[in-house]
Amino acid sequence: MIPVGDKLVLSLWGKDDFAEELGYEPVLGQPPFTLAHNVATPEGVDEILAGVREIGAGVFDAVQRDWGGYSGYFADPDGFRWEIAYNPGPVGDSVLP
C-alpha cells in the first residue's frame, strides 16, 4: 500500500490475491482493478451496501477479511468493482477524516 495523496492510497495486488479477495479471477473485458471507499465502522459498510442493494446493484456481502478489516463489493453500471471497507489499521486511519 502506497500513499499517493491526501487520504489516497494505492494498493497493488497480485493476480492470485485479487482472485482470493474478490472471489473470482479477472476476465477479459472486465477492468482488473477495484476502487475502495473506507468508512469508520463495520456497521457503516453494511449501511452503504444496503443502500446500494436498494437501488438495484448486485452486491457481494461484506465479510471479515484475513487482513483484519471488514468489506464487501458491488459493481457500478460500467462494471467497475467498488469495495466498501472498514480498515482498523494505520492505512484506514490515514484515509479517514
- Please, is 38 exposed, middle or buried when counting C-beta atoms within 10 Å of its C-beta (0-12, 13-18, 19+)? buried
Q: Is the pLDDT of residue 12 over 70?
A: yes
Cβ(79)–Cβ(27) under 8 Å?
A: no
Residue ranges per structural domain of the chain: 2-95
CA distance 49 to 45: 6
Read off the pTM. 0.82
CA distances from 60 to 17, 23, 81, 82 (A): 17, 10, 10, 10
CA distances from 67 to 11, 36, 55 (A): 13, 15, 30
| pLDDT score for 47 | 97
Taking only the tens place, the pLDDT of each residue in 53-94 is 999 888 989 999 988 899 999 988 888 889 999 999 887 788
Taking only the tens place, the pLDDT of each residue in 13-55 is 777 777 777 777 777 766 677 888 999 999 999 999 999 999 9
- CATH architecture for the domain at 2-95: Roll (3.10)
